[in-house]
Amino acid sequence: MDDKTPKRDNRLIGKKEEWARIGRGLTGRDPSSTGRPRLPPGQRLSKGFPVLDLGIRPEIDPETWELSIVGLVANPIVWRWDDFLAQPKIEDVSDFHCVTAWSTFDNRWEGVPFKKIIDTVRPKPEAVHLLFTAFDNYTTNLPLSVCNDDDVMLAWAWGGKPLTRDHGGPVRMLVPKRYGWKSAKWLKEIVFAADDRPGFWEVRGYSNSADPWKEERYATVGNRYLDQAPR
């Protein structure tokens, strides 16, 4: 075997699957009863901007980079780097919350607004689900309605500098209102679809909806305050 071939970090993946089974980090705190602090329940502020992924960090040359946005849309697109840079840009400052309990505040992102993507591809009425695929073969899913928001973008800069490879450069998704695993790094493809298809973590015990304010961390271990009856 060629040991230069990057491999997935199976130890980390196994640990995170176990956390989903045991419901690690769930507080059951209801944010609405305490006012809304800046940190979602169970989160702590991290120093710096941690890097978290499956352990494979693809090196992507912008010269050969291609992004496909396809599926149930009137105008499917394949953008090369120059096409991407020719799009309108936005800048937005937001907080970022990883399900493993770290959060970072005041990240300044720059990128192409997701609303511009919607305007360009023109989804068909039945295309209400999105599946994101990345160059490390990671996948994650979101409803189109969640991405149709002013703070959602295809980000290519962080803190005023081009996005580093570690953080998903050249281009990653950014969906600040959902846990970090919903924001695919090294974005390769977006498919608009009529049916919901769960992604990498969504089939490994993690929540489909992933709202940090509702502590939607896991698929089967719910919030105490949201559960109708204990299981």
Surface-to-core class of residue 35, CB atoms within 10 Å of its CB (0-12 exposed, 13-18 middle, 19+ buried): exposed
Question: What are the backbone angles phi and psi of residue 160, rounded to the nearest 5°?
Answer: 80, 5
User: Is residue 206 a contact residue for ligand MTE (CB under 6 A)?
Assistant: no
| Cβ atoms < 10 Å from Cβ of 224 | 14
Residue 67 binds which entry of Mo ion, ligand MTE, none, with Cβ cut-offs from 5 to 8 Å by kind? none
**Residue choice 72, 90, 98, 128 for contact with ligand MTE (CB under 6 A):** 98
| Cβ atoms < 10 Å from Cβ of 217 | 26
SS3 track for 188-222:
EEEEEECCCCCCCCCCCCECCCCCHHHCCCECCCC
CB 156 within 8 A of CB 110: yes
Of the pair 26, 98, the CB lying nearest ligand MTE is at: 98
Residue 114 binds which entry of ligand MTE, Mo ion, none, with Cβ cut-offs from 5 to 8 Å by kind? none
Cα(224)–Cα(90) distance, integer angstroms? 38
User: Is residue 181 a contact residue for ligand MTE (CB under 6 A)?
Assistant: yes
User: Is residue 141 a contact residue for ligand MTE (CB under 6 A)?
Assistant: no
Residue 203 binds which entry of ligand MTE, Mo ion, none, with Cβ cut-offs from 5 to 8 Å by kind? none
User: Is residue 190 a contact residue for ligand MTE (CB under 6 A)?
Assistant: no
Q: Which two tokens stand for residue 97?
A: 């919350």
Q: To the nearest whole angstrom, how small is the minimum distance from the Cβ of residue 32 to Mo ion?
A: 24
User: Is residue 12 a contact residue for ligand MTE (CB under 6 A)?
Assistant: no
User: Is residue 181 a contact residue for Mo ion (CB under 5 A)?
Assistant: yes
With CB atoms as reference, the residue minimizing the distance to ligand MTE is 180
User: Is residue 216 a contact residue for ligand MTE (CB under 6 A)?
Assistant: no
CB 59 within 8 A of CB 12: no
Q: Which residues bind Mo ion (CB under 5 A)?
A: 52, 98-99, 180-181
Tell me which residues touch ligand MTE (CB under 6 A): 49-54, 98, 134, 136, 138, 167-168, 180-181, 183-186
